Structure formats: C-alpha cells, structure tokens
C-alpha cells in the first residue's frame, strides 16, 4: 500500500514514518509539509493512503481531504493530529482511522490493520475467479501471499501453517477456510490435514496400505496422500 505523510511538523512526520516502516505492507512514497505541496504529490504519485495532519497553515487537513474526495480515484485517508475535537467532522470524509499525537505503535498497528482489511474488501478478483493474494491474519497484522508462492498448508494442533519457500506463516483460520479461498487455483487436498500446490509436486511414491507420499519442490517434507485421493491426485497431475 503506497502512502504519503502530510504534516507541517518535521518531527511528527519522522515519528510516524518510523512507526510505519515496521510494516512491510506500507510503502512510504512521499512526504509533504503543507496542503498545497501534498495535493501536487498526491495527484502526481497517486498513493493508496494519505496520513493527514489537520491543523496546518494556509490549508487545513480537512480542506485538503474535501478536495481529495473530488479526485477520480481518491486515496484513503487516515487523519493524524493532536486535536481529538475534529474526529466527528473528519469521519465525514470516510477516514479509515484517526490517530492522535503522540503516536504509539499500538494505534498505528491498528490503523494499518484497518487499512489492509479495507484493501482486501475492495480488491478485485482475478479474471478467472482465482485469488490474487491470500490474506493471512497473524498477531502482527495481515500478510498478503501470492497463491503461486505457497508450497503447502497444513493443520497443527491450534494453528494452520502456510509454507512458502521463503517463510512459514501461522494463522487461526481452519484449513477448510483456506481451501475455499484458494478455490480456482492449483491446489489439492490429498489428506485431511494438508493442502498442496500441485504445481510444486515433484514426486509421488508408494507408502503403505495403498497410501502414498509426495514431495514438493523447495522442501524435504514428506506429505501423506490418503489412498482415497491417490487416483484424483494423479489425474490432476497428469492433465
């Protein structure tokens, strides 16, 4: 999510920027110290979100927000101010959040989570109905993973594990829920506790009692294939 910070106080901009840099989903593409400069950058850079101070000289944040709403593709607004009394008026501009100075990591984290939830709701589906990104809710926030990067998902005692070549993610979402979200992508459930990306299947080997094991490119993990699903999996792999 591309962001611009607008505040006439350099220390406030630096403080907010420092807190936002903790979130890899937020890409800070610009800063502005007044409403006029902000409008120029917003029209030029077309950010997804603007973190906007309210009390600024010449052009207030509320006036700028009103102007932004007239754009063909207005950015999402998060007000960031030292004055709580503007909250009611601010939300008339459909602000996602209202941060109060001095900022802290908790309120900034909550604002980022709200922004990502909004992005997920507004995100269009791929033309073939498949999912562009899988949203994984972790304790630190929401992570977006390309389905093509996923090797497999598996259910442990309390969590569902989503494994990519680069990283492993933990989510409370049931495996069945992930299977529904990934419907339309190249995923197959060979076992009640596993969901695999068939593009990554490297080898299928006999195990015992008619069951098999499969290995995936990028991991040494042996994944069980229940004997009831062997035929269907082979058909998927041989298409």
pTM given for the model: 0.53
Q: What are phi and psi of 237, to 5 degrees?
A: -70, -30
- Residue of 108, 159, 164 whose CA lies nearest to 137: 159
pLDDT tens sequence across 15-34: 999 999 988 888 899 999 99
Q: Is 238 left (phi over 0), alpha (psi -120 to 50) or beta?
A: alpha
- Residue of 31, 82, 37, 81 whose CA lies nearest to 59: 37
Neighbours of 201 (CB within 10 A): 22
| Whether the predicted pLDDT of 128 surpasses 50 | no
Whether 143 and 136 have beta carbons less than 8 Å apart is answered as yes
User: Which one is predicted more confidently, 53 or 94?
Assistant: 53
Q: Which residues, listed in sequence order, are joined to residue 100 by a DSSP beta bridge?
A: 81
pLDDT of residue 201: 93
Query: Where does residue 183 rank: exposed (0-12), middle (13-18), buried (19+ CB within 10 A)?
Result: exposed
Tokens representing 177 are: 């829920």
> Where does the pLDDT of residue 80 fall: very low under 50, low under 70, confident under 90, or very high at 90 and above?
very high
pLDDT tens sequence across 39-71: 999 998 889 999 999 999 889 999 999 999 898
Whether 67 and 80 have beta carbons less than 8 Å apart is answered as no
pLDDT of residue 130: 58
Whether 145 and 133 have beta carbons less than 8 Å apart is answered as yes
Residue 81 CA to residue 58 CA, distance in Å, equals 16
């Amino acid at each position: 999510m591309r962001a611009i910070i607008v505040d006439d106080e350099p220390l406030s901009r630096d403080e907010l920027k420092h807190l936002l840099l903790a979130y890899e989903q937020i890409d800070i593409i610009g800063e502005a110290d007044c409403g006029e400069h902000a409008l120029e950058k917003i029209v030029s850079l077309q950010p997804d979100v603007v973190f906007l101070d309210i009390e600024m000289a010449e052009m207030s944040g509320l006036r700028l927000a009103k102007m932004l709403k007239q754009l063909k593709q207005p950015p999402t607004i998060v007000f960031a101010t030292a004055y709580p009394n503007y909250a009611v008026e601010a939300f008339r501009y459909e602000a996602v959040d209202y941060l109060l100075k001095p900022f802290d990591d908790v309120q900034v984290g909550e604002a980022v989570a709200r922004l990502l939830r909004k992005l997920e709701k507004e995100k269009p589906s791929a033309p073939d109905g498949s999912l562009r990104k899988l949203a994984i809710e972790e304790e630190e926030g929401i992570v977006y993973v390309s389905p093509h990067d996923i090797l497999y998902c598996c259910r442990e005692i309390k969590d569902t594990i989503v494994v990519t070549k680069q990283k492993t993610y933990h989510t409370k979402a049931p495996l069945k829920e992930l299977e529904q979200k990934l419907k339309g992508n190249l995923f197959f459930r060979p076992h009640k506790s596993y969901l695999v990306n068939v593009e990554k299947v490297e080898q299928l080997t006999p195990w015992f009692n008619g069951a098999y094991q499969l290995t995936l490119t990028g991991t040494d993990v042996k994944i069980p294939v229940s004997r009831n699903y062997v035929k269907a999996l082979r058909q998927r792999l041989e298409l």
